Amino acid sequence: MIIFPLQNGKKLAASIAKRSKAKLGELNIEHFPDGELHLRFEDDVRDKIVVLVGSMHPLPSEALLEVVFASKTAKELGAKKVIAAIPYIAYLRQDKRFHPGECVSNRIMAWLVNSCCDKIITVDPHLHRITNLAYLFHIERKKLTANDLIAQYIRKKFKKEKTVIAGPDIESSQWAKEIADSIGFESVIFLKQRFSSRHVKIHVTKEKEWKGKDVVIVDDIISSGHTMIEAVREIKKRKPKSVHCICVHGIFAEGAFEKLKKSGAKSIISTNSIEHKSNAIDLSGLIAKELF
């Protein structure tokens, strides 16, 4: 087995290779003057299991094309099997034709991956109406979750009797409530009213004794950050000791990280599915375990 980093997975790939005692290969990825991708495997992949590591952010379209080009090339060069370890998969939000003429991009993204890979590994994919990866991927697939790792982090950093774990909306209960229940922490799930992609309102559905408590808001993705920012603001009104934000995938688009800090979040933590200064929860062991 050889682990190859894509452009958005260099640190994670190195950590996975170290944990699994597998070889870390070199995949040279450059651009021609006109912007076209150029890829070259610097290691012999014949009869090897090739693992490509990288998330589809930033530049999700280019990241997807890297997976396709690298997988197809590895197969042409005689690789025995190609595994795409993509902790964060883009193009899952558009899972139906909301308006006439729209592209249902999740199906096309999956069609491309199905056409070139033998297996896909991902972490807490942002699924909506389609709840199972089997509806999209007919190749071997594995959905991992960072819940246990996040639970371990919270248990290490916070005291059970002085902490409330919160989910900013109903969808987040599969992370916030499950994590809280697994370590015996108190939890609460808020309701979200969405007016547009950048305008949401958070409603606290169940009041707690917030004063003197550390509140940890947990969700799968922080993208534009509007949901998390509104949740922080609502909790801050209730005078807690502190408010912290934890997510699996830290996209932090449009300056979301700085905006969250300004809204009153004491700490903002993410896994290393996407490289960012907020990375404090390591997925490499989770992914390495699935590879072996």
The alpha carbon of residue 272 and the mean position of all alpha carbons in its chain are separated, in whole angstroms, by: 8
Residues 238 and 287 reside in one and the same domain: no
Express each pLDDT in 255-287 by its tens digit: 999 999 999 999 999 999 999 999 999 999 999
| b/e per residue 27-39 (b: at least 16 CB within 10 A) | bebeeeeeeeeeb
CB atoms near residue 58 (< 10 Å) = 14
The verdict on residue 86 lying in a domain is yes
Q: What whole-number percentage of the chain has pLDDT above 70?
A: 99
Question: Do 118 and 195 lie in a common domain?
Answer: no
Q: What is the CATH number of the domain that holds 54?
A: 3.40.50.2020
pLDDT tens readout for residues 173-214: 889 999 999 999 999 999 888 766 677 888 888 888 899 999
Closest to 88 measured CA to CA, from 118, 121, 111, 122 = 122
Inter-residue contact 95 to 106 (CB < 8 Å):
yes
What domain count does the chain have?
Answer: 2
Task: Classify residue 278: in a domain, yes or no.
Answer: no
19 with 140, same domain? yes
Query: What's CA 124's distance to the chain center, in Å?
Result: 6
Instruction: State whether 23 and 118 are in the same domain.
Output: yes
* Shared domain check, 133 and 25: yes
Is pLDDT of 216 > 90? Answer: yes
Q: Would residue 192 show up in a list of annotated catalytic residues for this protein?
A: yes
Domain that holds residue 204: 147-272
Name the active-site residue from 48, 119, 177, 192. Answer: 192
Question: Which tokens sit at 10?
Answer: 């260099």
Is position 109 within any domain?
yes
Mean pLDDT calculated for residue range 139-167: 97
pLDDT digits (tens, 9 = 90+) for 44-60: 999 999 999 999 999 99
Cβ atoms of 79 and 46 within 8 Å: the answer is yes
Residues 130, 195: one domain?
A: no
Is 277 domain-assigned? no
Tokens coding 88: 């964060």
User: Is pLDDT of 168 > 80?
Assistant: yes
